[in-house]
């Protein structure tokens, strides 16, 4: 989804409304400028397919092309009016957007408009102050399997161990394709309640102490996806995983280089906000830690994404042969 822009070219007292933009995260913004204070009690009306969208807030931004205002406290002349699409309307497809000023006929813009519900959406309009644990926290394990992740795990030779299997979603899908797969996870309440009943017989819960409760060489392959970054003694985990596998191990971890990629855009990938991440790997550092245990290591990347014009990848992938 991309941001959609429409030209308004609408004069207002001592100012101008230039355009409307539809942000897929759920915002509709009117962009313009004014040297007067804005009356938030009488914003223009915005509707999608005839359904009014609530006005949320307005704020000022710098407009170097417009002389600064003297009447208002913040002397920026740039004006942004924000409307937030209600959650019940997200994921719907709309065919028209209408803009109706305080006085005058509405302007209708036709097209196809869709919105999504981003993670942390509550931060758009929360009326209470969040604390660190509310933002840099963790939730229950994923209940769906990432298609890229599954494509890699499916080619492994069984029996396969999913080291840090979460809800067991990957185990269930591998077993549907006739592969012998088992999982290992921490014995915690959030894990026990998230494990799918169909895969419970194939998941071993343990206290996190290493070595894990399997004999050496119990599996041909071990899959360890987005786990090492959570384990304080990650080197012991790598050693134990190498002990368990006789043929191949696949690791994925968040790619810490994405932090540097976002620098010039003033952005950090949201996944790196996860509060239980205690290790941050580059390809160089991960390779150095894996080399003592494997004869061959090939690196890849998963989850291509973008900061504006900069491409980055969410995860590092290391395929290791014994």
For 237-279, the pLDDT digits (tens) are: 999 999 999 999 999 999 999 989 899 999 888 888 788 899 9
Sequence-ordered list of residues with C-beta below 8 angstroms from that of 263, at least 6 positions apart, any chain? none
Q: How buried is residue 20: exposed, middle or buried, by Cβ count under 10 Å (0-12/13-18/19+)?
A: buried
Strand 4-12: give its sheet, edge to edge.
4-12, 15-23, 27-34, 78-84, 55-61
pTM for this predicted structure? 0.81
Q: For 101-155, how does the pLDDT look when each residue is reduced to its tens digit (9 = 90+)?
A: 988 889 999 999 999 998 889 999 999 998 888 888 777 777 888 999 999 999 9
The segment with the largest mean pLDDT, out of 30-39, 75-84, 94-103, 219-228, is: 219-228
pLDDT at 234: 97
What is the spatial distance between Cα 174 and Cα 158, in angstroms, rounded to a whole number? 10
Question: Rounded to whole angstroms, what are the CA distances from 159 to 147, 175, 250?
Answer: 21, 10, 14
Sequence-ordered list of residues with C-beta below 8 angstroms from that of 213, at least 6 positions apart, any chain? 204, 206
User: In this structure, what CATH number is given to the domain that contains residue 58?
Assistant: 2.60.40
Mean pLDDT check: name the lowest of 17-21, 53-57, 132-136, 228-232. Answer: 132-136
Kindly state the DSSP code that residue 255 receives in the 8-state scheme. B
Q: What is the CB neighbour count within 10 angstroms for residue 207? A: 9
Residue 13 or residue 93, greater confidence: 93
Judge if 157 and 305 occupy the same domain.
Answer: yes
Residue 99 pLDDT more than 90?
yes
Residue 228: name the closest of 169, 288, 278, 168 by CA. Answer: 278
Judge if 13 and 153 occupy the same domain.
Answer: no
Judge if 313 and 174 occupy the same domain.
Answer: yes
Question: Helices 147-154 and 169-176, interaxial angle, to 10°?
Answer: 50
Residue 127 placed within a domain: no
pLDDT band, residue 219 (cuts 50/70/90): very high
Judge if 102 and 15 occupy the same domain.
Answer: yes
What is the spatial distance between Cα 312 and Cα 270, in angstroms, rounded to a whole number? 13
The segment with the largest mean pLDDT, out of 74-78, 143-147, 172-176, is: 172-176
Question: Rounded to whole angstroms, what are the CA distances from 228 to 124, 176, 223, 256, 318?
Answer: 32, 27, 11, 13, 12
Residue 136 placed within a domain: no
pLDDT at 35: 87
Judge if 27 and 86 occupy the same domain.
Answer: yes
What is the spatial distance between Cα 105 and Cα 18, in angstroms, rounded to a whole number? 17
Sequence-ordered list of residues with C-beta below 8 angstroms from that of 182, at least 6 positions apart, any chain? 159, 160, 161, 162, 171, 202, 203, 204, 219
Residue 100 placed within a domain: yes
pLDDT at 109: 96
Judge if 266 and 117 occupy the same domain.
Answer: no
Residue 129 placed within a domain: no
Residue 174 pLDDT more than 90?
yes
What is the spatial distance between Cα 218 and Cα 294, in angstroms, rounded to a whole number? 17
Residue 282 pLDDT more than 90?
yes
Residue 317: name the closest of 273, 255, 242 by CA. Answer: 255
pLDDT at 72: 67
Judge if 221 and 167 occupy the same domain.
Answer: yes
Q: Give residue 19's domain range.
A: 4-121
pLDDT at 83: 98
pLDDT at 134: 83
């Amino acid at each position: 989804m991309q941001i959609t822009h429409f030209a308004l070219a609408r004069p207002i007292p001592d100012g101008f409304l230039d355009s409307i933009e539809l942000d897929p995260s759920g915002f509709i913004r009117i962009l313009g400028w004014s040297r007067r204070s804005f009356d938030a009690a009488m914003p223009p009306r915005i509707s999608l397919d005839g359904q009014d969208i609530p006005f949320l807030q307005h704020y000022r931004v710098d407009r170097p092309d417009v002389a600064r205002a003297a009447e208002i406290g913040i002397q920026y002349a740039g004006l942004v009016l924000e409307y937030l699409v209600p959650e019940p309307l997200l994921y719907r497809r709309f065919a028209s957007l209408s803009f109706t000023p305080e006085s005058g006929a509405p302007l209708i813009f036709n097209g196809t408009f869709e919105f999504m519900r981003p993670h942390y959406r509550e931060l758009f309009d929360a009326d209470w102050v969040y604390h660190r644990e509310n933002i840099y926290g963790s939730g229950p394990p994923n209940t769906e399997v990432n298609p890229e992740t599954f494509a890699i795990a499916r080619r492994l030779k069984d029996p396969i161990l999913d080291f840090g299997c979460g809800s067991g979603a990957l185990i269930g899908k591998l077993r549907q394709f006739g592969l012998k797969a088992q999982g290992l996870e921490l014995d915690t309440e959030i894990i026990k309640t998230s494990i799918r009943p169909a895969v419970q017989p194939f998941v071993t819960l343990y206290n996190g102490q290493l070595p894990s409760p399997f004999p050496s060489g119990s599996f041909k392959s071990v899959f360890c996806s987005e786990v090492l970054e959570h384990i304080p003694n990650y080197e012991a985990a790598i050693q134990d995983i190498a002990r368990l596998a006789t043929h191949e191990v696949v690791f994925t971890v968040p790619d810490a280089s994405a932090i540097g990629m976002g620098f010039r855009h003033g952005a950090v990938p949201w996944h790196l906000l996860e509060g239980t991440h205690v290790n941050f790997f580059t390809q160089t550092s991960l390779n150095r830690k894996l080399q003592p245990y494997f004869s061959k290591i090939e690196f890849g990347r998963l989850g291509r994404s973008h900061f504006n014009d900069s491409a980055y990848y969410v995860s590092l992938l290391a395929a290791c042969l014994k």
